[in-house]
Amino acid sequence: MATTAEYGLGPLAYPRGWFMIAIADDVTTAPQPVHFFGKEMALYRGKGSGRPILLDAFCPHMRVHMARNTTSYVVKDGNQVEGDSLRCPAHGWRYNAQGACDDIPYSNHGIPKAACVTSYTVVEKAGCIWMWHDMEGGEPDFDLPAFAEWDRENVGWVRWKPDHLGTLPIHPQEILDNMADVAHFVPVHGSLGNVYFENTYEDHIMRQRFGAGHRTLVDTAALLETDTWYTGPGILLSRMSGKHPSVMMICNTPVRDGEVRVWFAVMSQTADNHQPTREEQAIARAYHEAGLAAFAQDFELWQYKEAAITVLQIPDDGPFHKGRIWYRQFYNPRDKAREIQQRVNGSHVTLRGKGEVREVA
Ligand SMILES: [Fe+2]
């Protein structure tokens, strides 16, 4: 386990961006504790609006945790969440969705100005709860992916059911490195003869295009092709060619500096122009399982590795160094991000077609 500072990523311990923090179905009107970016927070669904709300967990009155209580009558009576507001289990102070205290039930001396908690930007989309995180407190400067397939059930797409894979004792840098890691596909994932491998860097998007044979997933001599991209530091999507088109998602969210939580999901189009039948949904589940098995091969390496503060890179490796520079934009103040983007924007070809000369910058 190594920290942001040890990797030299920038002055901000935690990255700026959109991050998955929960599976949407798991979020109810009962507040639950969530811990990300070194912070303890309370996540719940407003009774008024039905939308997810994320507040700092500790009531500023006496620093009581508002989402780890089962015995207070505030909780037992079932009224801890009122409309979109949350009451502290200790003295009943109530905070609205913006984090401002709007009721102290035993006082008529007004509400102190300091009686407020931070409320974070959260969005529910594609079955997930997303948080915008920015240590500088700024508004989002890029959008979440569209997740368009989520709304295409009528043309045969089966929605994903994300798997929560738990926490890894590594800095997310080690996961991001995978985007440049052309040389692990044959030994780890069973690729046969990598054919092409290219990375592009475009502002907050990092992309990988990869084509190779595969031991089990495609016929002999056929090419398995993937187009994989990060939207910011926390959300990977990958489109894969194959019998059925599919989109895989891998989300990483820092828990504390040097520890990361990971989710995995797959959507696939297993029917033609109609709502998928039960059997066609089962094919989609099998795609999920196959993708998960491939991801587990990476996961096991991450679980037990040491931190690669620097990579002992050889010319045939992919552009780890470039990917790491790209990643720095999220650990630096916003006004520095542009300069970092401009340093890496463009393409890097590690492998172009079979038998051709490998280009290495
Ligand atoms: Fe991998």
* HSE toward the beta carbon, residue 254, CA cutoff 13 A: 29
Mean local confidence (pLDDT), 120-124? 98
What's the 38 CA to ligand 1 centre distance in angstroms? 27
Calculate mean pLDDT across residues 318-339: 97
Q: pLDDT at position 359, please?
A: 39
Percent of the chain with pLDDT over 70: 98
Q: Is the pLDDT score of 356 beyond 80?
A: no
Q: What is the pLDDT of residue 193?
A: 87
3-state secondary structure of 183: helix
> How far apart are the CA of 192 and the centre of ligand 1, in A?
14
Q: Ligand 1 centroid vs 339 CA: distance in angstroms? A: 30
Alpha-carbon distance of 35 to 164, in angstroms, equals 15
Residue 357 predicted with pLDDT over 80: no
Q: What is the pLDDT of residue 360?
A: 37
Q: What is the DSSP string of 4-52?
A: HHHHT--S-SS--EEEEEEEGGG--SS-EEEEETTEEEEEEE-TTT--E
CA-to-CA distance for 224 and 240, rounded, in angstroms? 8
* Residue 207 CA to its chain's centroid (Å): 16
CA pair distance 65, 54, nearest whole angstrom: 14
In what helix (H) or strand (E) does residue 174 lie, and over which residues does it extend? helix 173-176
Supply the pLDDT for residue 354: 57
Q: How far is the CA of 321 from the centre of ligand 1 (A)?
A: 17
**Cα distances (Å, whole numbers) of residue 95 to 27, 61, 311:** 18, 12, 47
* 5 CA → ligand 1 middle, Å: 25
- Coil vs helix vs strand at 255: strand
d(CA 266, CA 282) in angstroms, rounded, equals 13
Q: What is the pLDDT of residue 348?
A: 97
pLDDT value, residue 206: 98
292 C-alpha to ligand 1 centroid (Å): 11
Arithmetic mean of pLDDT over the chain: 95
Q: How far apart are CA 176 and CA 133, in angstroms?
A: 18
The string of pLDDT tens digits covering residues 10-31 is 999 999 999 999 999 999 999 9
pLDDT of residue 286: 95
Query: Tokens standing for 341?
Result: 């983007």
Predicted structure pTM score:
0.95
Q: Report the candidate in 236, 235, 239 with the shortest Cα–Cα distance to residue 247.
A: 239
> Domains of the chain, with CATH numbers?
17-133 (2.102.10.10), 148-351 (3.90.380.10)
Q: What is the pLDDT of residues 267-323, one digit of tens each?
A: 999 998 899 999 999 999 999 999 999 999 999 999 999 999 999 999 999 999 999
Distance 104 CA to ligand 1 centre (A): 53
pLDDT tens string 52-63:
999 999 999 999
How far does the centroid of ligand 1 lie from the alpha carbon of residue 178, in Å?
6
Q: If you write DSSP's letter for every residue of 296-340 in order, what string do you get?
A: HHHHHHHHHPPP-SS----TTS--HHHHHHHHHGGGS-HHHHHHH
Tell me how far the alpha carbon of residue 186 lies from the centroid of ligand 1, in angstroms: 10
**How much is the pLDDT for 48?**
86
CA 325 to chain centre: 19
Least confident range of 130-139, 185-194, 216-225, 269-278 = 216-225
pLDDT of residue 222: 87
